[in-house]
């Protein structure tokens, strides 16, 4: 254990963050000569949280990394796939499949699930907020609500899900983008005066950084918004982060600020809103005239996607516990409407309900421990997500 209460990378890779019953299972199977038995295991989810009709697959890159070098094959849907928990026929959709001796990956089930469950939840909530924003920018502000060791995975997952920017320095480095942010209330308080804070920001911060002024520290939002417009050259937006005790009707506050800025000739200054947002609130604020959003806790503390990993073949024969579908399955997807289907025969693609022939959706990522597919940049995965979001509804 290092200085902070977080697992080291080597500990995760060695399976030291696994549930103890897998360690005991390994000991028993080794004693009984069964650890090298060939198996096939699938990642599926029975239902999605909050009745979500779809989710965004994320975290599979880390699953690849933990399985590399082990004598297994891995098939998976590409990271960033927008998927449903089941097909229209009610079959649970495998998003990934591991083939190999059970001893090669027994102790890695817990971390593999952890990678996918958390990251997919964050990516999905980000996608829902981005969809609700209707093309307007959404920035991930959630790292302060979670353990700092999680900052990079929060920011990577939220960016892949569709967020236009991320706030942490380490997360921004990971996704290959400049960190996004405005100013804290602390700056205004330390300067002692809103106008002085706005002036100082404009004078000192690199001119390539977008000018966004926080306008709710001491006075009414519309008064401070006009102060910012007067004192900060090149002001792009004012940011409203009104506390809950003063918030009232946030859509009306946005309307008021928008009206006041327009009235005084600042029609090019946008209204950026943060604080307590989720997809439903974002949608309301779009209608009120907001131009951008900082979404925090609802993204970083998004509902977890409850993936399970289950054995579906042993020694080449189909087998599964109750509630699971045994045997090797092939996942197909319609390229137009994105509908999924699962079959037992890869050589006969099913036809989608829209009439299009489906395509095999899985990718063989690892073969006998050797990676076959290079890592994709977060930007490319994000583009894949946004293309799919254009075809689906909330």
The arithmetic mean of pLDDT across residues 335-344, rounded, is 95
Chain-centroid distance of CA 338 in Å reads 20
What is the rounded distance in angstroms from the CA atom of residue 254 to the CA atom of residue 62?
41
Q: Is the model's pLDDT at 137 over the cut of 70?
A: yes
Residue 252 has a pLDDT of 96
Q: Give burial (CB, 10 Å; 0-12/13-18/19+) of 249.
A: exposed
Q: 132-300: same fold as 9-120+303-389?
A: no
> What CATH number matches the domain at 132-300, 3.20.20.80, 3.40.47.10, 3.40.228.10, 3.20.20.70?
3.20.20.70
* Percentage with pLDDT > 90 across the chain: 97
- Residue 110 tokens, joined: 């817990």
Q: Is the model's pLDDT at 112 over the cut of 80?
A: yes
The arithmetic mean of pLDDT across residues 336-365, rounded, is 95
Q: Is the model's pLDDT at 1 over the cut of 80?
A: no
Domain range list for the chain:
9-120+303-389, 132-300
CATH (residue range 9-120+303-389)? 3.20.140.10
The residue among 213, 270, 281 whose CA lies nearest residue 247 is 281
The arithmetic mean of pLDDT across residues 38-44, rounded, is 98
Average pLDDT in the chain: 96
Q: Is the model's pLDDT at 86 over the cut of 90?
A: yes
Chain-centroid distance of CA 10 in Å reads 24
3-state SS, the chain, equals: CCCCCCCCHHHHHCCCCCCHHHHHHHHHHHHCCCCCCEEEEEEECCCCHHHCCCEECCCHHHHHHHHCCCCEEEEECCCCCEECCECCCCCECCCEEEEEEHHHCHHHHHHHHHHHHHHHHHHHHHHHHHHHCCCCCEEECHHHHCCHHHHHHHHHHHHHHCCCEECCHHHHHHHCCCCCCCCCHHHHHHHCCHHHHHHHHHHHCCCCCCEEEECCCCCCHHHHHHHHHHHCCCEEEEEECCCHHHHCCHHHHHHHHHHHHHHCCCCCCEEEEECCCCHHHHHHHHHHCCCEEEECHHHHCCCCCCCEEEEEEECCEECCCCCCCCCCCEEEECCCCCCEEEECCCCCCCECCCCCECEECCEEEEECCEECCCCCCHHHHHHHHHHHHCCCCC
Q: Is the model's pLDDT at 131 over the cut of 70?
A: yes
Could you tell me the pLDDT band of residue 66, with boundaries at 50, 70 and 90?
Answer: very high
pLDDT in tens, 265-323: 999 999 999 999 999 999 999 999 999 999 999 999 999 999 999 999 999 999 999 99
The arithmetic mean of pLDDT across residues 78-92, rounded, is 97
pLDDT in tens, 143-184: 999 999 999 999 999 999 999 999 999 999 999 999 999 999
């Amino acid at each position: 254990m290092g200085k902070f209460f977080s697992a080291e990378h080597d500990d995760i890779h060695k399976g030291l963050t696994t549930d103890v019953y897998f360690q005991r299972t390994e000991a028993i199977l080794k004693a009984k000569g069964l650890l090298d038995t060939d198996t096939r295991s699938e990642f599926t989810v029975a239902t999605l949280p909050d009745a979500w009709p779809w989710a965004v697959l994320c975290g599979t890159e880390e699953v690849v990394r933990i399985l590399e070098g082990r004598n297994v094959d891995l098939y998976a849907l590409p990271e960033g796939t927008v998927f449903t928990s089941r097909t229209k026929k009610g079959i649970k959709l495998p998003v990934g499949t591991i083939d190999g001796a059970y001893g090669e990956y027994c102790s890695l089930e817990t971390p593999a699930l952890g990678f996918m469950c958390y990251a997919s939840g964050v990516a999905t909530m980000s996608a829902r907020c981005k969809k609700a924003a209707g093309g307007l920018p959404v920035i991930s502000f959630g790292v302060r609500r979670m353990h700092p060791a999680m900052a990079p995975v929060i920011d990577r997952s939220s960016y892949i899900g569709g967020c236009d920017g991320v706030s942490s320095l380490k997360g921004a480095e990971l996704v290959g983008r400049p960190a996004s942010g405005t100013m804290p209330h602390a700056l205004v308080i330390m300067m002692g005066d809103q106008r002085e804070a706005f002036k100082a920001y404009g004078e000192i911060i690199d001119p390539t950084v977008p000018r966004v002024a926080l306008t709710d520290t001491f006075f009414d939002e519309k008064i401070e918004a006009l102060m910012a417009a007067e004192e900060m050259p090149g002001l792009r937006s004012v940011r409203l982060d009104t506390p809950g005790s003063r918030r009232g009707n946030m859509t009306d506050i946005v309307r008021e600020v928008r009206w006041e800025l327009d009235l005084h000739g600042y029609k090019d200054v946008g209204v950026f809103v943060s604080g307590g947002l989720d997809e439903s609130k974002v949608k309301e604020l779009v209608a009120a005239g907001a131009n951008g959003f900082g979404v925090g806790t609802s993204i970083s503390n998004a509902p977890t996607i409850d993936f399970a990993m289950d054995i579906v073949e042993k020694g080449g024969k189909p087998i599964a516990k109750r509630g699971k579908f045994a045997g090797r399955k092939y996942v197909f997807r319609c390229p137009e409407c994105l509908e999924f289907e699962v079959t037992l025969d890869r050589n006969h693609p099913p036809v989608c309900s829209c009439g299009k022939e489906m395509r095999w959706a899985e990718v063989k990522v690892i073969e006998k421990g050797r990676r076959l597919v290079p890592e994709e940049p977060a930007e490319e995965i994000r583009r894949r997500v946004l293309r799919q979001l254009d075809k689906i509804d909330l």
